[in-house]
Structure 1
Amino acid sequence: MDEDGFWELIDLCARETGSRKERLAWLKTQLCQLSADEIIDYHMWWELNANRGCTCDMYALSCHLLRRESTDGFEYFVYWLMSLGREAYDQVADCPDRVMELPQVMDLLDLKRRWFAERRRGLPWSDEEYPGFELLAYVALDAYEQVTGAEVDVLYTAVKARGVRSRFPLLAAEFGEQDWDIADDAEIARRLPRLARHLTSRG
């Protein structure tokens, strides 16, 4: 499986299903029809593309949009962005600030504004709407176990043997040369002007 084949599955599972539960089931069914090597290919492309979103700029977006500084939340936010499909993800992986252009993000921010305006409690999003999709990352693992009967460590080892390692989980301080203070308003305005405008308008 090449990268085009990987994204075709991600895009198709969004179009062919309704709920997240249905999406996970559909994708697992498709993967279980593949060979073990093809499932390894799929997971390799998953890791490579997820790594593209593992940047300090994307981390800052996640923290400010979700109003919570969490490395787990950041990881699942990137997975949710991947679930939106190749076109959307290519747009934001290359320029994280363009997350603010996605209609799905605009819809969520509108929900959040109305929620807090009405002083309601809890989260402004349902489980289906929440901008995090942890379980999407595990579908290939479940399929690999079912197809081969082997432990998922075998899959991880095979992906690592191809020179691919996940950058998650990752602490903000581990971004190395990319690292910057995500609470610095001036840096946010310079690096993420669309996010900065949203934060300013929010007051």
Structure 2
Amino acid sequence: MNTSEFWALIGDAAREGGTPDTAAERIAAALAKRDADEIVGFERHMRRVLDASYKVDLFGAAYLVNGGCSDEGFDAFRGWLMAQGREAFARAVGQPDSLAELPAVKRAAVTGEELGSERMLAVAAQAHREATGEDLPEEPAAKRPNTDDFWDFDDEDEVRRRFPRLAALFSEAPGE
């Protein structure tokens, strides 16, 4: 499986509508029809995408959008972000403030909904089990950046400087 096929599976599932978890179910079903090597290939592409997107500023944006964020929460946030498609994902990794353009982020600013999809992170494992009856082969753990490189995500001035559009969406109304 190559990068274009990886993103095409995600894009096809997302275009059918529904939630990121619904898209994850569609991806898992489509993958389960493929041979085990392709399923493993999907997992490897997803791990590369996740590794490449473990950026301090994207973590900070997820922290702002979700009102806090753990490592696991950031993984789920990036699972949700993958379900938004290749273009939105790449734009957010390069410029996290671009998340302010996404309808779901705008909605979350009003509703307080937490954006994440653990199910997106498990599609290859689910598909592999369905296709082979076996667990997905173990892969090395994802690399994590040094948390000493993190800035204070609760520093409102720094948040406004780094993410002016997101900060405007998620700022509290006067008197709150």
The TM-score normalised by the length of structure 1 is: 0.74
Task: Indicate which of 132, 142, 159 corresponds to 1:166.
Answer: 142
* 1:131 lines up with 2:115 in the alignment: yes
SS at match of 1:135: helix
Give 5+ residue unaligned stretches, structure 2: none
Q: Which position in structure 1 is the counterpart of 2:163?
A: 192
Q: Deviations over 1:89-131 (max 9, x none)?
A: 1111111111112222112223x2xxxxxxxxxxx54xxxx51
**Runs of 4+ off more than 6 Å:** none
Amino acid at match of 2:67: R
Check conservation: 2:10, 2:23, Cα contact below 8 A: no
SS at match of 1:49: helix
Amino acid at match of 1:146: E
1:23 and 1:200 mapped to 2: Cα distance? 31
Check conservation: 2:153, 2:159, Cα contact below 8 A: yes
Give 5+ residue unaligned stretches, structure 1: 113-123
* 1:4 lines up with 2:1 in the alignment: no
Q: Which position in structure 1 is the counterpart of 2:83?
A: 83
Change (3 A) 1:16 1:69: closer
- Matching of residues 1-203 of structure 1 within 5 Å: 1-18=1-18, 22-110=22-110, 112=111, 124-125=112-113, 130-152=114-136, 154=137, 156-157=138-139, 160=140, 165-167=141-143, 174-176=146-148, 178-200=149-171, 202-203=173-174
Check conservation: 2:65, 2:105, Cα contact below 8 A: no
1:70 and 1:35 mapped to 2: Cα distance? 34
Q: CA deviation at 1:86?
A: 1.0
RMSD: 2.4
1:97 and 1:20 mapped to 2: Cα distance? 21
Q: Which of these two proteins has the greater Rg computed from alpha carbons?
A: 1
Check conservation: 2:106, 2:169, Cα contact below 8 A: no
Check conservation: 2:32, 2:131, Cα contact below 8 A: yes
Check conservation: 1:17, 1:23, Cα contact below 8 A: yes
2:105 and 2:26 mapped to 1: Cα distance? 25
How many residues matched? 174
